[in-house]
Amino acid sequence: MSVKAIGLFSGGLDSILAVKVLQEQDVDVVGVTFETPFFSSGRARKIAGSIDLPLRVIDITQSHLSMLKAPPHGYGKNMNPCIDCHALMLETAGMIMDDAGADFIFTGEVVGQRPMSQTGGSLRLVAKLSGYDGLVLRPLSALLLPPTGPESEGKVDRQRLLDIQGRGRKRQMALADEYGISFYPAPGGGCLLTDPAFSERLRDLLRACPDPSVRDIELLKLGRHLRISRDVKIAVGRNREENEAILGITHESDIILSVRNVPGPVVIIPGGAGMDEVERAAAVCAFYSDASRDAHVQVLARGNHAERVVETTPMDAEEVRSMIIERRLKNGNAGAIHSNKS
Ligand code: SF4
């Protein structure tokens, strides 16, 4: 009977090589990749197709979101809870393994490649946290780790596994050549939780709303974000595409603002707000419009099946700057606010 394995597959070179190393031992391999609002399966789907790897795509949004609010092992440099995220992915892959009657799980992780999540200790920890300790094989670094079940049971020949470690890519690139793999994506990228500006928005959202919806998260990807009061945040579209995208994800409870008679952004107040905040949002909307600094501007505010016109003037640039959520980033580009007047 053939040996079967389920592999976490990101579409990156290491995950491709892990598949190849096991296929070389006639292991029947199926890939699994994940989707959440923070990362997608696009790259994995594309690469799996190009190497004929059967791939399962699993949406783990809900379990990932609930873990993300308070990850037991904390965040990395940004809002990336890599230890608990990996453990969740392994746990999910383990359940797929159980269902499919497969023999073990594997990943393309390399010891020492990432400071938080890929030290030898971290790799052992996530395997343990997943509940599938002993069944998680890392073919590229297996010789640097204790033997796993499939190795001890002879399902996989440990001698034919590898001892790659560190951040360098030379050995992986040489292996890619050996396997005739000429197309593979550059390492890294792809997870919004490692992005400082996105992380700051997310931090701000979780402080104000400990139980955000998927729509709240999707909104973090669009426009400029300004906290105009303790409880109210707005998002301002930066171009026509973003304006349309914001309008595409509105809820009934939101208030949408736009200036009358001059070009300007769409501003959304997610979940609505009181009159004071609507007026502040209207002044921000006017600031980012083409109206001149001292113009009297009419801003249309729509929401809850009603609309009204707010008479305002563009908000002062410094006041706008002080409300931009990413301004708290030390090296961020939050200072780069743009309007026709700044
Ligand atoms: S970088 Fe993102 S997807 Fe990768 S383990 Fe960390 S949190 Fe999860």
The model's pLDDT over 269-286, given as tens digits with 9 standing for 90+, comes to 999 999 999 999 999 999
Q: Take atom 2 of ligand 1 and give the residue whose Cα is closest.
A: 191
Task: Please answer whether residues 201 and 325 qualify as being in contact, where contact means their C-beta atoms are separated by less than 8 angstroms.
Answer: yes
Assign 189 a pLDDT band (cuts: 50, 70, 90).
Answer: low
* Minimal-distance CA residue to ligand 1 atom 4: 82
Place of tokens 């600094």: 293
Mutating to test ligand 1, I would choose from 8, 14, 39, 129 the residue with most ligand atoms within 8 A of its C-beta, which is 39
Quote the ligand 1 centre to 44 CA distance (angstroms). Answer: 14
Instruction: Look at phi and psi of residue 296 and say left if phi exceeds 0, alpha if psi is from -120 to 50, else beta.
Output: beta
pLDDT class of 330 with cuts at 50, 70, 90: low
Which run of H or E residues covers position 281? helix 275-287
Mean of per-residue pLDDT scores for the chain = 93
CA 193 – ligand 1 centroid, Å: 7
Torsion of CA 71, 75, 80, 84, to 10 degrees: -40
- pTM for the full predicted model: 0.90
- The CA 103 to ligand 1 mean position distance, Å, reads 25
User: What pLDDT, in 10s, does the model give residues 2-24?
Assistant: 999 999 999 999 999 999 999 99
Which residues of the chain form CATH 3.40.50.620?
Answer: 4-178
Closest to 34 in 3D by CA, of 104, 121, 109, 96: 96
Q: Which CATH superfamily is domain 4-178 in?
A: HUPs (3.40.50.620)
